[in-house]
Amino acid sequence: MSVGKINQERREEILSAALDLAESDGLAAVSLRAIGARVGLTPMALYGYFANKDELLDWLVGRVLREVPPPDPEASWRERLLACARGARAAAHRYPRTFPLLLTRPVVLPEAMRVVDPLYEALLDAGIPDERVAGWERMFSTFVLGFAVSEVSGRFGEGNLGTKERRDRLGPGELPAHHRLGEALDLPVDWDAEFEEGLARLVAMVEEEGARAG
């Protein structure tokens, strides 16, 4: 309680320690005891800064979101949209083990709104009607977060085990398309290009709807 008087610097220090810990040892290693040890406090002292571990993780999401820089307001809506998307993906690359928290945890933080606001602004400037802006933002951020999380958490399955061996354990009768495609599935993936391609398609759709409406 009495939120206003709490030592903000110490809170930042705690969150940085949690972030370091998550990145070096994984999210599972983020315990109040381990964080406390890093900043020289007992685990119970942390309850002076956060109501509980869940709230600490919400603050951690905010900590990551703060590193997504706002776009240059002088730039075109198109450039601003691209900058937001690339900034978010860059944060995912910087904090690959922490970033998946963004998709799992509901975002009710001021930091989230500060990241979303320039998106709204850009969509409005593109000519999207008021009542369609929120929906476009959801589509946009779902793509960016979904892609970034999938990429950094290895959901697409590069390297866990050769795709080939896994494929061969189920015969062509069970996975006809996999076998028809053969080596085409083992081509190296250019994540940057794939992200940019999806992004360009989204921006083109925004432009089209904006032009049609405006």
Partner DNA sequence: ACCTGAACACCGTTCAAGT
In the complex with a second copy, the residue whose CB is nearer, 7 or 160, is 160
Cα dihedral: 87, 92, 93, 98 (round 10): 150
Instruction: Give the footprint of a second copy on this chain (CB under 8 A).
Output: 100, 103-108, 110, 113-114, 116-121, 124, 130-131, 133-135, 138-139, 142-143, 145-147, 149-150, 153-157, 160-161, 166-167, 169-170, 174-178, 180-181, 184-185, 187, 189, 194, 197-198, 201, 205
The reply to whether 48 sits near DNA by the rule CB under 7 A is yes
Question: What type of residue sits at position 56?
Answer: L
By C-beta, is 42 or 129 nearer to a second copy? 129
Applying CB under 7 A, among 30, 61, 84, 122 the residue interacting with DNA is 30
Compute the C-alpha angle 182/186/191, nearest 5°. 140
Q: Which residues contact 53 (CB under 8 A, 6 or more apart)?
A: 32
Of the two residues 19 and 82, which places its CB atom closer to DNA in the complex? Answer: 19
Do 140 and 202 contact (CB within 8 A), yes or no? yes
Structure tokens at 36: 């406390």
Give the HSE-up count for residue 61: Cα atoms under 13 Å, Cβ half-sphere.
Answer: 21
* Residue 164 interacts with which of a second copy, DNA, none, CB < 5 to 8 Å by class: none
From 44, 139, 181, 213, residue interacting with DNA (rule: CB under 7 A): 44
Cβ–Cβ under 8 Å, residues 159 and 53 = no
Q: Which residues bind DNA (CB under 7 A)?
A: 2, 5-7, 10, 29-34, 36, 40-45, 47-49, 52-54
